[in-house]
Amino acid sequence: MDKTEKTTKKEMIKKMKTSAVMALVLAMALGQLTAQENVWDETEAQKKERMAWWTHDRYGMFIHWGLYALPARHEWVQHYERIPAQEYEERYFGQFNPDLYNPKEWAKMAKDAGMKYAVITSKHHEGFTLFDSKFTDYKATNTPYGKDLLKEWVEAFRNEGIKIGFYYSLIDWHHPHFTIDRIHPLRQESDKAYAKLNKGRDMAKYREYLHNQVREILTNYGKVDMLWLDFSYPDGDHGKDKDDWGSMELLKMVRKLQPETIVNNRADLEGVNGGGDFVTPEQFKVPEWPTIDGKKVPWETCQTFSGSWGYHRDENTWKNTKQLLVLLIETVSKGGNLLLNVGPTARGTFDQRAKSSLNNMGDWMKLNGRSIYGCTQAPDEFEAPDHTLFTYNKKTNRLYVHLVDYPMQNFVMKGMKGKIKYAQFLHDASEIKISKPYGHAFDFKLGENDVNLSLPIIKPNVEVPVIELILN
């Protein structure tokens, strides 16, 4: 190495050092910025503790109910058919009279289905509130029905021991100051057209309204176990984000009014401590436990029976019981929760199809709930055989094998030698024998570390049979 080369190398190291120092200063400044961005300072352990009931319970009911139950062709009907607020109000508001509404029956159905918590739309995108709000006339108490629907609902569900949650739509297609954006019923084609329509609309005024209403629902109904805010669309033109909602302030207020409440992640506060407790993949099969920065995070998937969330009379795409059960089992097998939606009719009843699905799920849950409540993803050391889903209860050290496709007698579990103390079907506690594989004229050797469970040839009379393995 000659002299000049040496000096350049020295210089380079010097340069690198200065940039490293600069990077550090920048990181510290940024760190401060993000520290300021905290809604609150809660440790991981505190959060885990606060969310313990929820991660244990796993299974809840979503309820989408509003004026859209009357058109009965999707809760986004106002958007799809581009109906101006006034026209929508004129058509439906005066018709809303759910004369058969009996939330005690709803609560009973949720409980019988095995659901442990429930989340109802206090207001959906249409802007109509089920609750008595001081800040609007567009509310249930002013319809022919004339009563606060939320109040009765909360009482009924609490009485059944079901935890309660409120969905609140950040979006509002009725409020005069909510600006027209790309999903609004009055959405436009050009910037100019948007500007023209939005003249005189002031999001600051809407923001205040939204904060006031969230304060109402978190103040007037006692303890609220969950809050479900919906939703932000920050990307692209004519969307809405945390600044439109005033999300930081909003979440700070939420944490102050209901410090125990569990909040979803749709207020556009990703990465902010206290900005949302769990992620919310919706309407698809979640491929694996969702992560943020490589870390597994609490999650809840919300799903419909048939596609739309509000009551839809003519929709014929209802999932069958097995699909619904697999959805629940698979969710828990990846460490998540399932929030399964019902859209009640405008008379206040559950559709017969919803009732029968709930019933069927309840039948299964009564016998097999032990593989759902308190369970999570099984440790990596266990390998699920084809067509099965595992869940695992850490506390009891039991592994649950869900037989999605019922096997033919021999059921081989790899690497389980010496790990099983006792095996039984969960639904009837009947023993499952560990034995040599059965069969004639075959050349089938069990692997050294494998175990064969000897199943009855006939599938037990449960939709998805579960083997409970009590582990050593």
Q: Which residues contact ligand GLC by CB under 6 A? A: 64, 75-76, 230-231, 282, 302, 309
The span from the CA of 3 to the CA of 8, in Å, is: 9
Q: Based on CB atoms, which residue is closest to ligand GLC, 120 or 251?
A: 120
Tell the smallest beta-carbon distance from residue 64 to ligand GLC (Å). Answer: 6
Q: Based on CB atoms, which residue is closest to ligand GLC, 71 or 465?
A: 71
Q: Based on CB atoms, which residue is closest to ligand GLC, 270 or 428?
A: 270
Tell the smallest beta-carbon distance from residue 238 to ligand GLC (Å). Answer: 16
Question: Token pair 């300072």 is at which residue?
Answer: 41
Q: Based on CB atoms, which residue is closest to ligand GLC, 89 or 230?
A: 230
Please name the residues in contact with 150: beta carbons below 8 A apart, sequence gap of 6 or more.
120, 122, 130, 131, 140, 166, 217, 221
Q: Based on CB atoms, which residue is closest to ligand GLC, 76 or 178?
A: 76
Q: Based on CB atoms, which residue is closest to ligand GLC, 76 or 153?
A: 76
Q: Based on CB atoms, which residue is closest to ligand GLC, 165 or 465?
A: 165
Tell the smallest beta-carbon distance from residue 441 to ligand GLC (Å). Answer: 55
Tell the smallest beta-carbon distance from residue 55 to ligand GLC (Å). Answer: 20
Tell the smallest beta-carbon distance from residue 282 to ligand GLC (Å). Answer: 5
Q: Which amino acid is at 211?
A: H
Tell the smallest beta-carbon distance from residue 278 to ligand GLC (Å). Answer: 13
The 10 Å Cβ neighbour count of residue 111 is: 18
Q: Based on CB atoms, which residue is closest to ligand GLC, 76 or 194?
A: 76
Tell the smallest beta-carbon distance from residue 231 to ligand GLC (Å). Answer: 5
Tell the smallest beta-carbon distance from residue 378 to ligand GLC (Å). Answer: 28
Tell the smallest beta-carbon distance from residue 340 to ligand GLC (Å). Answer: 12
Tell the smallest beta-carbon distance from residue 307 to ligand GLC (Å). Answer: 11
Q: Based on CB atoms, which residue is closest to ligand GLC, 57 or 126?
A: 126
Question: Token pair 């009973």 is at which residue?
Answer: 108
Q: Based on CB atoms, which residue is closest to ligand GLC, 208 or 282?
A: 282
Q: Which long-range contacts (CB under 8 A, 24 or more apart) does 346-352 make?
A: 346/69, 346/70, 346/72, 346/95, 346/96, 346/98, 346/311, 347/98, 347/99, 347/100, 347/101, 348/98, 348/99, 348/100, 348/101, 348/102, 349/100, 349/101, 350/106, 350/109, 351/311
